[in-house]
A and B are shown apart, each in its own frame.
Chain A
Amino acid sequence: MKKIIVSAQVNGEPVESLASPRRTLLEWLRDDLRLTGSKEGCSNGNCGACTVLLEGKPVLSCLVMAFEAEGQKITTVEGIATSPNRLSALQSAFVSEGGLQCGFCTPGFVVAATALLEKIPHPSEPEIRLHIANNLCRCTGYDKIIKAVEKAAEAGK
């Protein structure tokens, strides 16, 4: 099948890459751009492990076609740290609060929560729960994830 060229900005860098028209954004990011931080947990929009930011808004990359990324700004979990050796306040809070165990869901939560703190710098617990509802975790029981978000919000004061 004839491939198409997708030109987008990924984690601040211009990218031009060939993609099959049938590719999802998740597949393009992982398999073509080798950004394997975003995970394929369900491929049908239920788990949020594939969450990336598209024009600053969290979306499920398994439900976006690669061709839709044309001309768009994308941030993956690889683009969340402020510099290569410095985790963001949110990422540090995930570590200090124990907001992860196996870590598979973590990239999706980190991206979604990063977007949440941009939208609502000091979210209440119900607001946090509402905004991460599209993300599933099988290990932690969510409490420590919520605490990590609250801690990061504190740090932002």
Chain B
Amino acid sequence: MDSPDFFISRPHSLAEALQALAIPGVRPLAGGTDLIPQWREGRREIRGMVDLKHVPELQIASFQPATGARIGSALALSDLYALPWLAQHYGGVDDAARLIGGWQIQNRASLGGNLCNGSPSADSAPPLIAHEGVAEIVSPQGSRTVPLEDFFTSPGKTKLGPYELLLAVNLPAPRPHAASAFLRFIPRAEMDIAVASVAAHVQLDAAREKILVATIALGAVAPTPVRAIEAEAVLIGQIPSDKLLAAAAAQAMLAAKPIDDVRGSAAYREHLVEVLTVRVLKIALERARRAS
């Protein structure tokens, strides 16, 4: 049986990449850790691949204290977390990057792939959302930005249009006395897909007593990653205490709209959100107290 030709391309420029991606059915390939198994298992039909890893703009990882971070979408996670500024200023993103899969997967997988795969349990999403990260998208028509909080639309789907490419993720400049953290619950110690996950980003006042800003994002407990706005409201302007964190966690449960599935029941997921919210806030607050 004759199988149709499989288109492959290894562009060295963004323009070349966009041109190749204009071919219907041809998919972008960064780490391939989602694309390849989905294709091989017949869950995704493709007519070819464009290897993005040799396009310089997609491999950037730059940070300036005044302007924040710019992370190329195809950069391997292990190359990203090798950069000291990630753990120092975007701790929750560092936590997530080190949790995705295992070492071998982290040497290939990218933030771009994790986000564009569109899974509601994408580990990188909650901390990137907690940092108010922005997706920079390009196409032959030009470029646009989408806050990551709005990037996911439904399970497996994002706002990325058919011939668009996620170019980079931009993170704001770090605030003083601020820090983030990310936790997820899985059956084993590594490798699994999150049953529930929570990221928090907090900023303390100059005296490091009151919470000035708090952003909380939940993963794997709704059709998309979601912000727990009510929980955030509980914290703002307040001095952290066990009682305060418990109150925030109870509100975070309300933002979760989980389902029963093979990984857990809706009820258990709600419970996990409550537990993880307290824990992740404690870690973020501790990091914020130590942050400059």
Q: Given the known A-B contacts A59-B104, A59-B107, are A64 and B37 also in contact in the complex, defined by CB atoms under 8 Å? A: no
Q: Does B51 contact A (CB under 8 A)?
A: yes
Q: Given the known A-B contacts A1-B6, A43-B40, A65-B32, are A48 and B104 also in contact in the complex, defined by CB atoms under 8 Å? A: yes
Cα–Cα distance between A86 and B102 once the two chains are bound (Å): 30
Tell me which residues from 240 to 254 in chain B have a Cβ below 8 Å from any Cβ of chain A: none
Interface centre among A62, A70, A130, A134 (most CB of B within 10 A): A134
Cross-chain contact B103 with A43 (CB below 8 angstroms): no
The closest CB in chain B to the CB of A42 belongs to B37
Q: Does A21 contact B (CB under 8 A)?
A: yes
Q: Does A79 contact B (CB under 8 A)?
A: no
Q: Does B207 contact A (CB under 8 A)?
A: no
* Chain B residues closer than 8 Å to A48, beta-carbon distance: 102, 104
Cross-chain contact B107 with A46 (CB below 8 angstroms): no
Cα–Cα distance between A129 and B188 once the two chains are bound (Å): 12
Cross-chain contact B8 with A131 (CB below 8 angstroms): no
Using C-beta atoms within 8 Å of the partner chain, give the interface range for chain B.
20 to 34
Cross-chain contact A58 with B29 (CB below 8 angstroms): no
Q: Given the known A-B contacts A43-B40, A65-B49, A133-B191, are A1 and B3 also in contact in the complex, defined by CB atoms under 8 Å? A: yes
Say which residue of B4, B31, B107 sits within 8 Å of A58 (CB atoms): B107
Cross-chain contact B102 with A134 (CB below 8 angstroms): yes
Tell me which residues from 55 to 96 in chain B have a Cβ below 8 Å from any Cβ of chain A: 78
* Chain A residues closer than 8 Å to B208, beta-carbon distance: none
The closest CB in chain A to the CB of B106 belongs to A134
* Chain B residues closer than 8 Å to A65, beta-carbon distance: 8, 29, 32, 36, 49, 51
Cross-chain contact A60 with B104 (CB below 8 angstroms): yes
Cα–Cα distance between A37 and B246 once the two chains are bound (Å): 53
Q: Does A94 contact B (CB under 8 A)?
A: no
Cα–Cα distance between A79 and B156 once the two chains are bound (Å): 40
* Chain B residues closer than 8 Å to A68, beta-carbon distance: 29, 32, 51, 53
Q: Mark B24-61, 1 if CB is under 8 A from A, else 0.
A: 00000101110011001100000011010100000000
Cross-chain contact A67 with B108 (CB below 8 angstroms): no
Cross-chain contact A134 with B32 (CB below 8 angstroms): no
* Chain A residues closer than 8 Å to B40, beta-carbon distance: 24, 43-44
Binding site for A on B (CB under 8 A): 2-8, 10, 29, 31-33, 36-37, 40-41, 48-49, 51, 53, 78, 101-105, 107-108, 189-191
Interface pairs A-B: 5 shortest CB-CB = A134-B102, A133-B190, A44-B37, A133-B102, A21-B6
